Amino acid sequence: MHHVLIVVASLVALPIAPPTPEAISRIQDAQRTFFKEHPQGASQEELTAFFTGILDGIEPSECSWPQLKQLMGPCSMVPAKRDAAQARLKQLAGEATADGFDAFVYASSMSKEDAPTAAALFGHPGYAAWKQSASPSDRTRLIGRLTSDQFAQAGAEVKELEAWFTPERSAKELAAGVQLVDAIKRLAPDPDQGEQFRLRLLAAIVVAKEKASPEEKASLTKLAKKLDNAITRGEFMEHPAPKLAFTWAQDAAGPVKLSSLDDLKGKVVVLDFWATWCGPCVGSIPNVKELRAHYSPDDVAIIGVTSLQGKHYPGGAAPIDCAGDAAKEQGLMAEFMKAKGIDWTIAFSEQEVFNPDYGVNGIPHVTILDAEGIVRHTDLHPADPMHEKCAKIDALLRKQGKTPPAAPPEPKPEAAPDGAAVPAVPTIPAVPMIPAGKP
């Protein structure tokens, strides 16, 4: 009996420790692996067992906000953990700290019906501490997440943030101003507010370039291009497409005469911005192939737009260096097209594939033009549902007086097997996209 009492006392004395960074990393890795192994979903029983297992020993009530923020998804899959996580979130959201404010914003985003007023948001006891430690990008993202009603009440905060962007700031800091321009133009009831800030930010960049180092000046020049294009001026959608100059174009039959978008007038044009190193782009090839087979090339032109990358990624082998050798990279592209069965036009443009004039911040990125070269749809993904893509294209063909082919059937939701469930918190996007930059 004496030994039993000692054991019990020892167990009671053990403290419940918060999760370590290594434990959180293991949970995230296990979650990614699980969803990769269950692309079609898993039964509720499997989900519950899996998440119960990886969360064993994790007590949400002991987590700090940075820890809990990473575990909210997994905890939502286990009722007991979910309830404990939500209770802890509510507790943390009331703290007068920077983390407390961040938790408050997170909690608020979980229910649009209960969105706080701007006064409650910016009057949170932790807001001042958060604002002092937040980066310009963090503050801009916060403004961008506001509703129109909240934005209308946040005039002082927006004006203060606008005033922060001066010529003394670095290119990295000024880059957040581009996001703020987008947010203001989207949310402000007065369209001139966003335009006036765009012009002030552009002027600040011009002044900053005068004293900048060569490297900084190059970054500022790219930033100025982002600010001074059709999209930021509000002249992109429903306007003539920005110019594209093509230096090489080929389809399955061989070289194609294509130097600019003017060569495609009279056809609906699908521009698919992509690169061989982009996994989601290559993964979407079957989707583009399906679209190509559905429409006549006489009515719909599909152009896979890329630019010289300095390397070619053949797939299944090491990348091939093509730096400074455009002919080599283009020749490898022709081989790639044949190997992948690409039967639509691929074209190299003088402009970067991450083209600011088209708002290409990640690839793949699809823009659709009508037969007159007017931008009608953008920021689409080639793997979007076939019936949705066709509905957009068919409407443009009918506008020309053409009869589109029979619409593809809209997929009916399949009845899930008994006990099956789709993962509620997937960690791998269903439609992935690579952000601007190269591997």
Q: Predicted confidence band at 420 (pLDDT cuts at 50, 70, 90)?
A: very low
Report the chain's mean pLDDT, rounded to a whole number: 88
Answer whether residue 355 shows pLDDT above 80: yes
Please state which of the four CATH numbers 1.10.357.10, 2.60.40.10, 3.40.30.10, 3.40.720.10 is assigned to the domain occupying 246-399.
3.40.30.10
Answer whether residue 99 shows pLDDT above 60: yes
- Report the distance separating Cα 353 and Cα 93, nearest Å: 42
**Per-residue confidence (pLDDT) for residue 436, from 0 to 100:** 56
**Per-residue confidence (pLDDT) for residue 410, from 0 to 100:** 80
Helix residue ranges per DSSP H, 284-400: 285-294, 326-340, 386-399
Q: Predicted confidence band at 243 (pLDDT cuts at 50, 70, 90)?
A: very high
Q: Predicted confidence band at 430 (pLDDT cuts at 50, 70, 90)?
A: very low
Q: Contact 35/427 with Cβ under 8 angstroms? A: yes
Classify the C-alpha dihedral 88-89-93-96 as positive or negative. positive
Work out the average pLDDT over 26-41. Answer: 84
DSSP 27-71: HHHHHHHHHHH-TT-EEHHHHHHHHHHHTTT--GGG--HHHHHHH
Q: Contact 373/269 with Cβ under 8 angstroms? A: yes
What percent of the chain clears pLDDT 90, i.e. is strictly above it? 72
Instruction: Tell me the sheet residues that pair with 366.
Output: 272, 380
Work out the average pLDDT over 249-254. Answer: 95
Work out the average pLDDT over 327-344. Answer: 96
**Per-residue confidence (pLDDT) for residue 232, from 0 to 100:** 81
Domain boundaries along the sequence of the chain: 135-228, 246-399
**Per-residue confidence (pLDDT) for residue 413, from 0 to 100:** 57
**Per-residue confidence (pLDDT) for residue 136, from 0 to 100:** 87
Answer whether residue 183 shows pLDDT above 70: yes
Answer whether residue 207 shows pLDDT above 50: yes
Answer whether residue 428 shows pLDDT above 50: no
Answer whether residue 127 shows pLDDT above 50: yes
Answer whether residue 435 shows pLDDT above 60: no
Answer whether residue 320 shows pLDDT above 70: yes
Distances in Å between the alpha carbon of 337 and those of 149, 258, 342? 50, 17, 5
Q: Predicted confidence band at 381 (pLDDT cuts at 50, 70, 90)?
A: very high
Provide the whole-model pTM: 0.67
- For residue 256, count CB atoms less than 10 angstroms from its CB and return exposed for 0-12, middle for 13-18, buried for 19 or more: middle
Q: Predicted confidence band at 235 (pLDDT cuts at 50, 70, 90)?
A: confident
- CA angle at residue 423 from 421 to 424, to 5 degrees? 110
**Per-residue confidence (pLDDT) for residue 229, from 0 to 100:** 84
Answer whether residue 17 shows pLDDT above 80: no
Distances in Å between the alpha carbon of 75 and those of 27, 88, 283? 11, 12, 31
CB count in 10 Å sphere of residue 99: 19
Work out the average pLDDT over 418-430. Answer: 40
Work out the average pLDDT over 58-86. Answer: 93
